[in-house]
Amino acid sequence: MQKTIDLQGHRGCRGLMPENTIPGFLKALEIGVTTLEMDLFISKDHKVVVSHEPYFSHLIATDPDGKSISSKNERLYNLYEMNYDEIMQYDVGLKPHPSFPRQEKLHAIKPLFADVVRAAEQAVDQNAYQKPFYNVEIKRVPWQDEVYHPHVREFVKLVVEAIWNTGIENRIVVQSFDPQSLQRVREIDPKIGLVLLVGNDRSPEENLSSLGFTPKVYSPEYSLVNEGLLIFCKENNMELIPWTVNNKQQMIRMIELEVDGIITDYPDILHEAIEVMNVTMK
């Protein structure tokens, strides 16, 4: 059995704290994740904002007056049509999440990527944590260009420049379901590690063919992981890191298969599974 594994906190630690928020990322560091996983979009004033949707989701958001955003009108709260000063006025931490009853409720906002890194690195210095890696997703959808986000060239440019400005290029990978986004990152900065996210049932050969090169990491939905995929990744010198594994028995199964890392909403449960399996974190 392998000796090390990458424990990635999905959107910080979504099962325990509000997703994609600074309090959530700091809690993940306290638990002991090795990688902070997050999603990126762009505001009207071209700031790189940490958010899973390009709008304020009805599941987590309340407006500046404290009113809950509804499922009917959530897409009207388009981040790409709002300056960051306006985005800051919305809360994304007080509303109870129906899927995560353990989630602590507190005031939180959608942060800038730069502010997340600054807060995380400060916490590392103050608490003598191991320096984390960062796994950031470019949430580009081709047919939503210039509606919910810029065109791919501008989107990727803004993200890569934000990465350069943080000075953590040697501790970050960029992930995406969108091959064009990964291709563009590779053109701008070939040193940045790339992660192909996979949620389809096509063969890995087909997925790599669409991408046009071999990424650092192949990251499928965990139910797609089997011995054959593991062998394929090893033969192609790719790490295999599945998402999003929240059940302890499934975590143990992934560890037994010797995946290179696991993305989870519950890093506390994964931490327990890792200890049970006598595996250390990277």
Spatial separation of the C-alpha atoms in residues 15 and 188, rounded to whole Å: 35
Q: Is residue 97 part of a domain?
A: no
Is the predicted pLDDT of residue 96 greater than 60, yes or no? yes
Domain residues for the domain of 158 are 4-56+113-281
pLDDT given for residue 8 in this prediction: 99
Count of the separate structural domains present in the chain: 1
105-148: per-residue pLDDT in tens?
999 999 999 999 999 999 999 999 999 999 999 999 999 999 99
Q: Is residue 108 part of a domain?
A: no
Is the predicted pLDDT of residue 10 greater than 70, yes or no? yes
**Over pLDDT 90: what percentage of the chain?**
96
**Over pLDDT 70: what percentage of the chain?**
99
Spatial separation of the C-alpha atoms in residues 117 and 194, rounded to whole Å: 19
pLDDT given for residue 278 in this prediction: 86
Q: Helix/strand/coil (H, E, C) string of 165-232?
A: HHCCHHHEEEEECCHHHHHHHHHHCCCCEEEEEECCCCCHHHHHHHHCCCCCEEEEEHHHCCHHHHHH
Q: Is residue 125 part of a domain?
A: yes
Q: In which band, very low, low, confident or very high, does the pLDDT at 2 lie, cut at 50, 70 and 90?
A: low
Spatial separation of the C-alpha atoms in residues 280 and 282, rounded to whole Å: 7
Q: Is residue 52 part of a domain?
A: yes
Q: Is residue 103 part of a domain?
A: no
Amino acid at the residue 262: I
Q: What is the CATH number of the domain that holds 168?
A: 3.20.20.190
Is the predicted pLDDT of residue 1 greater than 60, yes or no? no
Residue 82 structure tokens: 């709002």
Q: Is residue 258 part of a domain?
A: yes
Q: Do the strands 35-42 and 48-50 form a parallel or antiparallel pair, or are they unpaired?
A: antiparallel
226-255: per-residue pLDDT in tens?
999 999 999 999 999 999 999 999 999 999
pLDDT given for residue 211 in this prediction: 99
Is the predicted pLDDT of residue 176 greater than 70, yes or no? yes
Q: In which band, very low, low, confident or very high, does the pLDDT at 83 lie, cut at 50, 70 and 90?
A: very high
